[in-house]
Amino acid sequence: MTTLVPDVFDQLSASIAFGPADHDHIRELAPLLVPHFERIAAGFCATIVDCAGHQALVIDWMKAGLTGPWDRSFYQTLTRIGHRHAELEIPTHLMIAAVSAVRAGYADVIMERLGAQAPIFLRSMDKLLDLELAVMQHACHRDTQARLVTRERRLRSEQFVAMQTLSAGLAHELRNPINSAKLQLEVLGRRLRKPNELHTLAEPALLASQELERLDALIDDFLVFAEPTMLVVEVHDLVAVVADALELEDELATRREVALILADAPEQLEASFDSAKITRVVQNLVRNAIEAVSVGGRVDICVARDADLIHVIVEDDGPGIPDAIRARMFEPFFSTKDTGTGLGMSIVWSLVTLHGGTIEVASSPTGTRCDVTLPHAARPLQSDVA
């Protein structure tokens, strides 16, 4: 535990001239003030939210200040209280206001009981409270700084672990198409050395080409997911952007005999966002929905607006997503598809978050609903989403 060295206390005491005469005045005041501790401590706690459960701590502080001695043990008492303030995350301005409440409570008693002698005792009391507040805030600040350093180290450690996991996942996903392409090229090489098998060259060449295309798609998805990017925010018609995204997925829907329906959309819904990124979000969600439903299934897309947000909702009548999979669906490289990169939903989360929006997924055995919410106007800020 952090403690204040005595010279800090000595410097603070000297700066406000808190000396032996003040000590004597405080000792004289103690018998007058102690009977009012409960009421004054309640005034302190009323100034700070959620402090009522710590009233005993406030009374201990008040006793330490009034009874002394003002020595090393007093410093340590104040620093412990300062540490406790840091644990409770009490803002400095609330602490100052709370000490002011104690100051006012003390002053009322002193002025009532001491009359004309009150001013000299009030000056000593002001010095004590100023000293105590300075010492506690000093300890609280040091403790808060230490907590920030610890938190920063933990964050860096978590980021490092996340990068290791991401790198391992990428390496694994890259190796699969590379190994497959190499295998097909070896087959192609063996057949080239046999003139009677020249007619069989097309198949391994095609398979190798497909694996290289898969590799290219994986790298493209990874760059979208991992690279910091700027929003290009302009005013767009969200309904038109969603309609364009659906047109890009219409061929897949037709091939799988899935009905793709833009339902209950307004004629126009203008908002500020990055058109290309929201198009990709809608495409990924719609493609997942199309692939999830059975032949003859249905995917509904809804665009709506409320007072604070705009919504793009993609809902399908597929078999739903098991809870264990739904809990991991935004993890990089997590996929239940043989041909998926495992980055589609991670990209969705990244791009939606970049806009300051959210995505909620609800699922049951009768279907899945993805609700993307976006602010009416996204800020064109540098992303910190990895």
- CATH number, domain at 197? 1.10.287
Q: What is the mean pLDDT of the chain?
A: 80
Instruction: Say if residues 259 and 297 touch (Cβ distance below 8 Å).
Output: yes
Identify whether 49 is part of a domain: yes
Domain match, 143 and 70 both: yes
Residue 228 phi/psi, 5° resolution? -60, 140
- The confidence score (pLDDT) of residue 163 equals 59
The pLDDT value given to residue 378: 72
The contacts of residue 289 (CB under 8 Å, 6+ apart) are 299, 314, 315, 316, 318, 368, 370
Q: Is residue 162 part of a domain?
A: no
Considering the domain architecture, whether residues 183 and 259 belong to the same structural domain is answered as no
Instruction: Quick: pLDDT tens for 201-223.
Output: 777 777 777 777 777 766 776 66
For residues 261 and 361, state if they share a domain. Answer: yes
Which CATH number goes with the domain that contains 122?
A: 1.10.490.10
Tell me how many domains the chain contains: 3
C-alpha distances in Å from residue 239, one per residue of 231, 234, 279, 358, 378: 19, 15, 11, 19, 17
Is 383 inside any structural domain? no
Query: Looking at 154, 189, 208, which one is the last position of a domain?
Result: 154
Check: CB of residue 83 under 8 Å from CB of residue 140. Answer: yes
- Nearest-angstrom CA–CA distance, 45 and 99: 10
For 147-205, write each residue's pLDDT tens digit. 777 777 776 666 556 555 666 666 666 777 777 777 777 777 777 777 676 667 777 77
Q: Three-state DSSP class for 382? A: strand
| Residue 287 and residue 213 share a domain | no
Range of the domain at 123: 6-154
Question: Cα separation of 62 and 342, whole Å?
Answer: 60
Rounded average pLDDT over 224-242:
81
Same domain assignment for residues 218 and 114: no
249 and 307 co-located in one domain: yes
Evaluate if residue 143 carries a pLDDT over 90. Answer: no
User: Does 238 lie in the same domain as 131?
Assistant: no
* Same domain? 314 vs 202: no
14 and 135 belong to one structural domain = yes
Do 203 and 273 lie in one domain? The reply is: no
Residues 98-112 have pLDDT tens digits of 888 888 989 999 999
Q: Is residue 1 part of a domain?
A: no
